Structure 1
Amino acid sequence: MTRTLQAAPANAEQVKAWDGEEGAYWAEHADRYDRALRGYLTPFFEAAAVGPADRVLDVGCGTGEISREAGRRAPRGSVLGVDLSTAMLRVARQRAEEAGLGHVRFEQADAQIHLFPEGGFDLVVSRTGTMFFGDLDAAFRNLARATRPDGRLVQLVWQPAVRNEWFLTLTTALAAGRDLPGPPPGAPGPFALSEPDRVRALLTGAGFTGLGFEPFAAPMHFGTDADDAHRFVVGQLGWMLEGLDDTGRARALDDLHAALRARETPEGVLLPSATWLITATRR
């Protein structure tokens, strides 16, 4: 029997994107996206400190790399990965099965409103997945409800855009000289949780305490060379070319290629990035 995703109205646009073309693109390029963030994997799991019998919830699990690694560290526990994307969850399930991780399972769910078992998890984790909720207050209250007392929350989020050269480089090139408006303050998006003061208010209001914010920086891998990275970025961000005439489009694509070529290294095209590793404990 096919289940219908129950999603919060505030998350309608996110469902449209992630359970549509954007999610499908991520699923198709799962290895590339995982490699892009590989520099954060070690500190993330050092902070998570997954115990061998922990019950883990992975929010915005995507194609499941974090869920699978959590499962390896919790062989006597369980892992539930949730995401909006049917396509990414299909990849996640297949890879968990291939890895022999029967205690790692996945479910399509809107974590903002999903009825998780109360206190059902020892640890809630998310790698760049919590910034896209339409109602962050409601989302973190729901995640707090799902976390047992003294259970922990560990999430990796982007620092502000001005500290993320990968974002500025790509969007500046594709803007082709246009002054494109950014999202309204507080709107869902990559940088919705980039300001620690806002995050402190959200998490303490939801029922978390003992907050920690540790800054990390790591290069993101976008491709083996400029041509490879260019194809990948245009596939993801090609929507930014809408509204340009042929001359403007050619300029944007040339500017992007030049920017990526300038970042070629023997290890591939690398662009600097900066994140917060946020930890908290459920009261």
Structure 2
Amino acid sequence: MAQHNADRVADWNGQSGERWVAHQARLDAIAAMFGQAAIEAAAPATGERVLDVGCGAGASTLALAARVGAGGQVLRVDISEPLIARARARAPQDTPALFRVADASSAELPEGAFDILFSRFGVMFFDDPTKAFAHMRRALKPGGRVAFVCWRGTAENDWMRLPMGAIKGIVPMAPPDPEAPGPFSFGDPERITRILTAAGFTDIAITPFDASVSFGEGATRDAAIDGAVKMTLEVGPLSRALADQPDDIRARALAAVRAAFASCPGERSLMINGATSIVKARNPAS
């Protein structure tokens, strides 16, 4: 597990972090509806302090900062220096937000300092999620709130289902461990409940939130399909699946992925289905 964490940190400070920065505008647009739903669940009020855990290049941090105002504060923690740098560059000088490169699962955090623990797709990657949430809970005030959004299962999310289903039979792949750290490790609501309960949280509520989002864009339908293939190749698991494949296998796989995206509706923008859970919980008052 320690080696996995070291590899994850290295990746997000290397190729993955750089690719997410390059595609930041599109990725934020895809995640916007889901992030906003999580913010509404968190219900940040003027003057509150929020711990924002690992969620891209700062879009949710800025939205939270606007809600808490000058009398509040948002601390955004992420393991990726490129993403934190992008977040800092985007933030107006008077934004009540701090940005810190660290692993929220183990970083030193001020005890009992925050009203809200928030995350937009940032909590599914912990090696030991129960330990991570127990650690972060200590940074919450008594009675403090948790609100985050996480992906549900692979089969319900077209951005994974379409490309990875298309290459099945072309590229050999071991079946994934559904509880291994990764974007879908919180796909099972019962597992989320077990983790948060063991970490000491109460009042756990998990609500499905689904939306159709624009994934590929272009001046024509063909260009939009090409955009979807490029996006999934550069920021999704497809790149890892194809990394060591010979050119002929790679070409067949990409043709199959393109055909899969061609089944999606839309002309200059392909629409795909996204399935998430909005999770709420509370730190006991005493």
Please confirm whether the aligned pair reaches a TM-score higher than 0.5, indicating the same fold: yes
Q: For the Cα contact (< 8 Å) 2:55–2:121, is it kept in 1?
A: no
Letter of the 1:18 counterpart: W
CA distance in structure 1 between the aligned counterparts of 2:170 and 2:43, rounded to whole angstroms: 45
CA distance in 1, matches of 2:171, 2:254: 14
Q: Which residue of 2 is the match for residue 274 of structure 1?
A: 275
After TM superposition, the structure 1 = structure 2 runs for residues 179-190 of structure 1, keeping only pairs within 5 Å, are: 179-190=172-183
Q: CA deviation at 1:252?
A: 0.8
Unpaired runs of 5+ in structure 2? 218-223
What is the rounded CA distance, in whole Å, between the counterparts of 1:274 and 1:179 in structure 2?
Answer: 26
Deviation at 1:267, TM superposition (A): 5.8
Given the superposition, is the C-alpha separation of residues 10 and 152 from structure 1 closer, same or farther in structure 2, using an over 3 Å criterion? farther
Q: Take 2:13 and 2:174, find their aligned partners in 1: how far apart are those partners?
A: 25
Asked if 2 retains the 8 angstrom alpha-carbon contact of 1:222 and 1:270, the reply is yes
In the alignment, the residues of structure 2 paired with residue 78 and residue 92 of structure 1 have an alpha-carbon distance, to the nearest angstrom, of 15
Q: Comparing 47-56 with 99-108, which one deviates more in the overlay? A: 99-108
- Between 1:197-206 and 1:182-191, the stretch displaced more is 182-191
Change (3 A) 1:38 1:56: same
Distance in structure 1 (CA, Å) of the matches to 2:231 and 2:78: 23
Indicate whether 1:80 and 2:75 are aligned: yes
Mapped to 1, the partners of 2:160 and 2:256 lie a distance apart of: 14
How far has the Cα of 1:239 moved from its partner? 2.5
Match of 2:88 in 1: 93
Equivalent runs, 1:1-283 vs 2, <5 Å: 11-75=5-69, 76-96=71-91, 99-175=92-168, 177-224=170-217, 225-236=224-235, 237-266=238-267, 268-283=269-284
Q: 1:276 is matched by which residue type in structure 2?
A: S
Q: Which structure 1 residue ranges, 5 or more long, are not aligned?
A: 1-7
TM-score by length of 2: 0.90
Structure 1 runs, 4 residues or longer, greater than 6 Å off: none
Kept in 2, the 8 Å contact 1:157–1:194? The answer is yes
Most deviating of 85-94 and 227-236? 227-236
- The AA in structure 1 aligned to 2:263 is A
- RMSD over aligned Cα atoms: 1.8
C-alpha distance in 2 between matches for 1:171 and 1:128: 20
Write the deviation string for residues 51-99 of structure 1: whole angstroms up to 9, x where unpaired: 1111001000320000000000011200010101110111100111xx3
CA distance in 1 between counterparts of 2:128 and 2:175 reads: 19
Against the structure 1 CA distance between its residues 267 and 211, is the aligned structure 2 distance closer, same or farther, given a 3 Å change threshold?
farther
Percent identity between the two aligned chains: 35
More displaced, 246-255 or 106-115?
246-255
- Tell me the alpha carbon deviations over residues 25-45 of structure 1, each in whole angstroms, 9 at most, x when there is no partner: 101111111011122233222
State the secondary structure of the residue aligned to 1:131. Answer: coil
